[in-house]
């Protein structure tokens, strides 16, 4: 596993938009938030570009990605936001360039496509966590920035810390459910379920062999989640993994069917029927995904999942020693 260097307060970071666009007002807010965090953000052209549902053409977004990794003054790379479009870059990326210039790379949601590609093609450890447009940055009067404490603590450990992340804890009041008891170890890999399923059958397909599989999703009907989870099941991803960490399912609901006056199965029933039969240690409700407060999860390093106790513990740092 190739591990990046940690960041230090005052470091310059590149902010790139690999997926959907935003507007200049949001970029200005993101700049204030990142400076309040103690970083010096440089916003690349994709952050100001718009090509329909994309933050600029593939050429613009690809160039920004490459330039951000190549620039030695930029110590890390933070994605501006998610949305859609990162998958269009996968067959165009110079993976040798990425491998030879490893940096801390952070994002989630649609950015999952890049996490999977960097894992499979570069063996690079990346970070699943808040992006530049994050509710971690809260703006008050005259856009004064305050930082949401729980998310900030988790994010800071993941970008500034040197030791392993240790045991990951949910915010107060949010319980982690033990669905299948047992203990498993392995590298944690994964991200957004929709993107994981979309890359099946491609050169960037997730490899869960001996891994701890983390998945989450947002605003999908339960019947869609059933289809996506079944796709992973048919592809052997639950069979091959050592353990399963389910995150949050923000906005995911059972859809009422007018055609036959029925309703989708509850999500917990779908999980029980599709995933649980594999008997892999499994928890649900880890507060990492499309939710705030938000847990930051380094990917590609060893963790221990104690599904009986409902704990996930990092036993390896995701930073290089130098």
Strand 137-139 with 145-147, pairing? antiparallel
Closest CA to 30 of 139, 142, 159: 139
Q: Where are the beta strands (DSSP E) in the chain?
A: 12-16, 40-43, 76-79, 104-107, 126-128, 137-139, 145-147, 166-168, 177-180, 183-192, 212-216, 243-246, 256-257, 262-263, 282-284, 297-299, 302-306, 311-314
> Given 74, 115, 290, 318, which residue is catalytic?
290
Is 216 annotated in the active site? yes
Q: Looking at the DSSP assignment, which residues form a beta bridge with residue 299?
A: 126
Q: How far apart are CA 191 and CA 214, in angstroms?
A: 6
Angle among Cα 296, 283, 180 to the nearest 5 degrees reads: 160
The answer to whether residue 178 is catalytic is no
Residues facing 13 on adjacent strands: 41, 76
Identify whether the C-beta of residue 315 lies closer than 8 Å to the C-beta of residue 164. yes
Q: Indicate if 175 belongs to the active site.
A: no
Other Cβ atoms less than 10 A from the Cβ of 103: the count is 22
Catalytic residue, chosen from 31, 187, 216, 316, is 216
User: Greatest CA span in the chain, whole angstroms?
Assistant: 62
Quick one: the chain helix, strand, coil %, rounded to 5?
A: 30, 25, 45
Q: Which of 19, 20, 46, 109 is catalytic?
A: 109
Residue with tokens 């392993």: 164
35: phi then psi, degrees, rounded to nearest 5:
-70, -35
Pairing state of beta strands 262-263 and 302-306?
Answer: unpaired
State how far Cα 35 lies from the chain centre: 22
Active centre residues (catalytic): 109, 216, 290
């Amino acid at each position: 596993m190739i591990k990046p260097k940690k960041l230090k307060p005052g470091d310059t970071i590149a902010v790139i938009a690999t997926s959907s666009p935003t507007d200049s007002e949001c970029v200005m807010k993101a700049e204030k938030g990142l400076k309040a965090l103690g970083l010096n953000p440089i916003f690349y052209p994709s952050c100001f570009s718009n090509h329909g549902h994309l933050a600029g053409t593939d050429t613009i977004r690809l160039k920004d990605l490459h330039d951000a990794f190549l620039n030695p003054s930029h110590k890390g790379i933070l994605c501006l936001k998610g949305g859609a479009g990162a998958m269009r870059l996968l067959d165009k990326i110079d993976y040798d360039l990425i491998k030879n210039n490893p940096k801390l790379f952070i994002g989630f949601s649609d950015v999952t496509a890049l996490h999977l590609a960097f894992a499979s093609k570069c063996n690079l450890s990346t970070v699943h966590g808040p992006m530049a447009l994050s509710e971690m940055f809260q703006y008050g009067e005259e856009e004064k920035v305050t930082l949401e404490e729980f998310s900030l603590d988790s994010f800071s450990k993941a970008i500034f810390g040197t030791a392993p992340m240790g045991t990951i804890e949910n915010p107060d009041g949010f319980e982690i459910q033990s669905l299948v008891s047992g203990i498993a170890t392995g590298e944690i890999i994964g991200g957004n379920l929709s993107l994981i399923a979309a890359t099946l059958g491609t050169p960037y397909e997730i490899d869960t062999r001996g891994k701890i599989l983390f998945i989450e999703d947002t605003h999908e009907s339960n019947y869609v989640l059933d289809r996506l989870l079944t796709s992973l099941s048919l592809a052997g991803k639950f069979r091959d993994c050592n353990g399963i960490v389910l995150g949050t399912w923000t906005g995911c609901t059972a859809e009422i069917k007018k055609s036959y006056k029925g309703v989708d199965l509850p999500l917990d029933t779908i999980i029980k029927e599709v995933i649980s039969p594999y008997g892999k240690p499994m928890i649900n409700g880890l507060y990492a995904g499309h939710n705030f407060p938000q847990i930051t999860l380094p990917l590609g390093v060893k963790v221990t999942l104690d599904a009986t106790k409902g704990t996930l513990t990092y036993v390896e740092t995701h930073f290089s020693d130098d």
